[in-house]
Amino acid sequence: MANTVQLPIRPLLWLLHATSVFAAGVSHSARANSADTLKDCLLNAVSGNIAEVKLSSDAGFQTDHVRPHNLNFPWAPFAITYPTEASEVAKIVTCASKNDRRVQARGGGHDYTNKCEYLKKIYGRSRLSGTGLGAGDGAVVIDVKNLNQVQVSSEGIATVGAGNRLKDVCEKLHANGKRCMPHGSSPTVGIGGHATVGGLGLHSRLLGTSIDVMTGAEVVLANGTIVKASEKEYSDLFWAIRGAGASFGIVTSFDFQTNREPDNVVNFSYTVSSTSPANLSAAFKAYHRITTERNLDRRLSSVAVISKDTLLISGAFFGSKSDYAGLDFGSQIPGVTNRTLKNDFTWMGHMNATFKSISDLFPAQSYFYAKDTAVTYSTLPSNSTIDAVFEHLQTAKSGTDTWFVLIDLYGGAPNDAAAGAMSYPHRDLAYFFALYARSGSETTSTIHDFVEKAVLTYQDNKPENFLSYAGYTNLRIKGSPQKKYWGANLSRLEGIKAAVDPEDVFSTPQGVKPRA
Ligand SMILES: Cc1cc2nc3c(=O)[nH]c(=O)nc-3n(C[C@H](O)[C@H](O)[C@H](O)COP(=O)(O)OP(=O)(O)OC[C@H]3O[C@@H](n4cnc5c(N)ncnc54)[C@H](O)[C@@H]3O)c2cc1C
Ligand SMILES: *[C@@H]1O[C@H](CO)[C@@H](O)[C@H](O)[C@H]1NC(C)=O
Ligand SMILES: *[C@@H]1O[C@H](CO)[C@@H](O)[C@H](O)[C@H]1NC(C)=O
Ligand SMILES: *[C@@H]1O[C@H](CO)[C@@H](O)[C@H](O)[C@H]1NC(C)=O
Ligand SMILES: *[C@@H]1O[C@H](CO)[C@@H](O)[C@H](O)[C@H]1NC(C)=O
Ligand SMILES: *[C@@H]1O[C@H](CO)[C@@H](O)[C@H](O)[C@H]1NC(C)=O
Ligand SMILES: *[C@@H]1O[C@H](CO)[C@@H](O)[C@H](O)[C@H]1NC(C)=O
Ligand SMILES: *[C@@H]1O[C@H](CO)[C@@H](O)[C@H](O)[C@H]1NC(C)=O
């Protein structure tokens, strides 16, 4: 077995096989031949345009092309390709699967874990220097950045190339008739990874998630076919890609129903600064009671950020100054030390400010650990649980000074779709509670423990009652991460996976695996 160049693509077999190849220390020339065959195939797929195929042996491959978002997880793909049209994507997928390689799409490259788990397991270390590995060990990455068109039809349906980043989507929709759609607040997140996993942002309470407004998608399948998926055609696939897209195909373009931009945006913030955990908690409890009312005005959105000695509550209201005045809850929050109010943002002015504040929070590359929990209206924490979490956050050893909890308020439109309408499982969602901790080098067990204890405390020590967002991948999830990400929808996903990608070509460590 060690002498064959046929690497079975099924992850377990692949893992065993690669381990034995490595241990035996043979077949270097066989693997070199396989690498050459694949390289030729990839170059043919893009009509010989070398700018579209970057190999691990190329100078600057790691620094200019791999660029992991989370430095905890260095990543060593075989090649990163930059196709310019769907037909090239299809040919690249076929090259990879014929050569028994895994394939990964890349949009904005903001995945939390860079999907490197297999390499870590195989080589038993987390740093890959590239020495001694040969060029044939990694996956083929299809970076879709060149698929970056945005067109808006007269019915307001936007066809959005999967390579656009959120800032591009926002700006291009604005330029195409002052349109907008719901999505997150990070300018550099890619719509490719975002709109295949959920896609929630400040205007989600009003308009829903990115997947809620998706009306169709062009998808390259594992067998190299290009299909148009919608409620009418390939409806199972369409159901799957709205929540678990990375395991099912490569979306080359999305169709989204857009909306008119809001005419006016009010922006508010309330800061509570205190060294007393009880004072911070008192403010948060008041905020929590108000904002988890099911009938809270959908035009009001909000984010709370908890950090050391600070609670920062901010938000946007998509309506007029006078409509906002009646909803302003600031006077009900005890201990506010600073407040700001801007009544008359334009849509783009507001988005610019929001994008900037998120860029300031998250560097392009860093060492970090993040863990989240979805909180539904039936799993809201009690006041004493909130007190316990603030006590932990403010007093426990954190292992880093750079940590914060983001509480992104949802409810409203994201809960309008029926529970099983798409594979994304978070209906009846109140908010996500997500703790993020960054450090100057690989994150330590002190940091992991600090983060995990906070989330577990927030869950009242009953993690089995909570799901996590598949957009915040976490390799430390115990048990079945797939169950955490997709809940009751996992079983149907596994069936669809067996039908469209039985060999697990689109393979990720925590992705949906085909039902046996
Ligand atoms: C700083 C930051 C802020 C964030 N804020 C929000 C937020 O406000 N709201 C929210 O909902 N999420 C948020 N996220 C999560 C984010 O939406 C997901 O991590 C998303 O998957 C990232 O997409 P990407 O294209 O940038 O990442 P990538 O790493 O390129 O892709 C992520 C995954 O999606 C797959 N994928 C990418 N493109 C395609 C495609 N065309 N077809 C099929 N699969 C594809 C990849 O294979 C990979 O598995 C945030 C993440 C970060 C890092
Ligand atoms: C906590 O709040 C009380 C008012 O409820 C205030 O008197 C006290 O100074 C605050 N303590 C700190 C440390 O902020
Ligand atoms: C929780 O605290 C909030 C804010 O202090 C308060 O309004 C609410 O009544 C409390 N809830 C319960 C169940 O005690
Ligand atoms: C409000 O505006 C500030 C800048 O003035 C910006 O940092 C913040 O992100 C905005 N918040 C919202 C929720 O719009
Ligand atoms: C008040 O909060 C705003 C927004 O967070 C910040 O820009 C400003 O500097 C703060 N002002 C003071 C006096 O702390
Ligand atoms: C938003 O930012 C863009 C640059 O990214 C700039 O061209 C535009 O004028 C800004 N718009 C507003 C309303 O601030
Ligand atoms: C999808 O998940 C939701 C939430 O867990 C559940 O209510 C629904 O029944 C599931 N749908 C399927 C098809 O399993
Ligand atoms: C490729 O897979 C799809 C989905 O399973 C299927 O409908 C199609 O017939 C397949 N095409 C070929 C050429 O096998």
- Mean pLDDT, the chain, rounded, equals 90
Angle between helix 383-395 and 445-458 (nearest 10): 170
Last residue of a domain, one of 208, 233, 261: 261
Between CA 4 and CA 8 the distance in angstroms is: 10
Instruction: Return the CATH number at 219.
Output: 3.30.465.10
Does 506 fall in a domain?
A: no
Are residues 309 and 199 part of one domain? no
Are residues 273 and 350 part of one domain? yes
Are residues 284 and 398 part of one domain? yes
Ligand 8 mutation pick, 93, 220, 221, 497, max ligand atoms within 8 A of CB: 221
Task: Give the pLDDT score at 79.
Answer: 93
Are residues 86 and 34 part of one domain? yes
* Among protein residues, the one whose CA lies closest to atom 38 of ligand 1: 192
Are residues 410 and 436 part of one domain? yes
What one-letter code names the amino acid at 78?
F
Pairs from 349-352 (Cβ < 8 Å, separation ≥ 24):
349/265, 350/265, 350/267, 350/316, 351/170
Residue 130 has pLDDT above 50, yes or no: no
Q: Which residues contact 79 (CB under 8 A, 6 or more apart)?
A: 38, 39, 42, 53, 54, 55, 56, 138, 140, 141
Task: Give the pLDDT score at 29.
Answer: 58
Structural domain that includes position 106: 14-145
Q: What is the pLDDT of residues 240-289, one digit of tens each?
A: 999 999 999 999 999 999 999 999 999 999 999 999 999 999 999 999 99
Ligand 3 within 6 A of CB of 383: yes
Ligand 2 within 6 A of CB of 276: yes
Identify which has the larger pLDDT, 490 or 119: 490
DSSP string, 109-149: ---SSTT-HHHHHHHSSS----TTS-SSSSPEEEE-TT---
CA-337 nearest atom, ligand 5: 14
Q: What is the pLDDT of residues 436-463, one digit of tens each?
A: 999 999 999 999 999 999 999 999 999 9
pLDDT-derived band at 76, boundaries 50, 70, 90: confident
Task: Give the pLDDT score at 234.
Answer: 98
- Find out whether 343 and 327 touch, Cβ atoms under 8 Å: no
Q: Are strands 300-307 and 310-317 parallel, antiparallel or unpaired?
A: antiparallel
Q: What is the pLDDT of residues 326-342, one digit of tens each?
A: 998 999 999 999 999 99
Residue 120 has pLDDT above 70, yes or no: no
pLDDT-derived band at 123, boundaries 50, 70, 90: very low
- Find out whether 338 and 349 touch, Cβ atoms under 8 Å: no
* Among protein residues, the one whose CA lies closest to atom 8 of ligand 3: 289
Torsion of the alpha carbons at 89, 95, 101 and 105, rounded to the nearest 10: 0
How far does the centroid of ligand 2 lie from the alpha carbon of residue 335, in Å? 7
pLDDT average, residue stretch 110-120: 68
pLDDT average, residue stretch 308-319: 97
Query: Which value, in Å, is the radius of gyration of the alpha carbons in the chain?
Result: 23
Between CA 21 and CA 67 the distance in angstroms is: 28
Residues in the chain: 516
* Among protein residues, the one whose CA lies closest to atom 14 of ligand 5: 338
Q: What is the pLDDT of residues 138-157, one digit of tens each?
A: 789 999 999 999 999 999 99
Does 406 fall in a domain?
A: yes
Residue 233 CB-density burial (10 A; 0-12 exposed, 13-18 middle, 19+ buried): exposed
Identify which has the larger pLDDT, 2 or 209: 209
Are residues 317 and 463 part of one domain? yes
Total number of domains in the chain: 3
In three-state secondary structure terms, 482 is helix
Are residues 227 and 108 part of one domain? no
Ligand 7 mutation pick, 426, 464, 484, 489, max ligand atoms within 8 A of CB: 489
How far does the centroid of ligand 5 lie from the alpha carbon of residue 339, in Å? 7
Does 502 fall in a domain?
A: no
Q: Locate tokens 């060593």: which residue?
A: 76
Are residues 165 and 95 part of one domain? no
- Find out whether 86 and 249 touch, Cβ atoms under 8 Å: no
Residue 10 has pLDDT above 80, yes or no: no
Are residues 184 and 100 part of one domain? no
Per-residue CA distances from 447 to 126, 342, 468 (Å): 18, 37, 19
Are residues 439 and 323 part of one domain? yes
pTM of the model: 0.92
Are residues 322 and 271 part of one domain? yes
- Find out whether 253 and 437 touch, Cβ atoms under 8 Å: no
Tokens, residue 318: 């998509």
CA-314 nearest atom, ligand 5: 5
Last residue of a domain, one of 206, 230, 261: 261
pLDDT average, residue stretch 168-179: 98
The percent helix, strand, coil of the chain (3-state, each to 5) is: 35, 20, 40
- Find out whether 178 and 172 touch, Cβ atoms under 8 Å: no
Instruction: Return the CATH number at 408.
Output: 3.40.462.20
Angle between helix 28-45 and 86-98 (nearest 10): 160
How far does the centroid of ligand 7 lie from the alpha carbon of residue 488, in Å? 5
Q: Which residues contact 74 (CB under 8 A, 6 or more apart)?
A: 62, 66, 68, 114, 116, 126, 127, 128
Does 413 fall in a domain?
A: yes
Does 285 fall in a domain?
A: yes
What one-letter code names the amino acid at 319?
G
Residue 298 CB-density burial (10 A; 0-12 exposed, 13-18 middle, 19+ buried): middle
DSSP string, 147-214: ---EEE-TTSEEEEETT-BHHHHHHHHHHTTSEE----S-TTSBHHHHTTT----TTHHHH--TGGGE
Q: Which residues contact 100 (CB under 8 A, 6 or more apart)?
A: 6, 7, 8, 9, 14
Ligand 3 within 6 A of CB of 285: yes
Short-list 140, 122, 94, CA closest to 13 = 122
Ligand 2 mutation pick, 276, 280, 308, max ligand atoms within 8 A of CB: 276
Q: Are strands 103-106 and 140-143 parallel, antiparallel or unpaired?
A: parallel
- Find out whether 241 and 350 touch, Cβ atoms under 8 Å: no
- Find out whether 382 and 460 touch, Cβ atoms under 8 Å: yes
Are residues 172 and 76 part of one domain? no
Last residue of a domain, one of 216, 239, 261: 261
Q: Locate tokens 């990543």: which residue?
A: 75
User: Kind and range of the H or E element at 370?
Assistant: strand 367-376
Give the ligand with the smallest distance to the CA of 279.
2
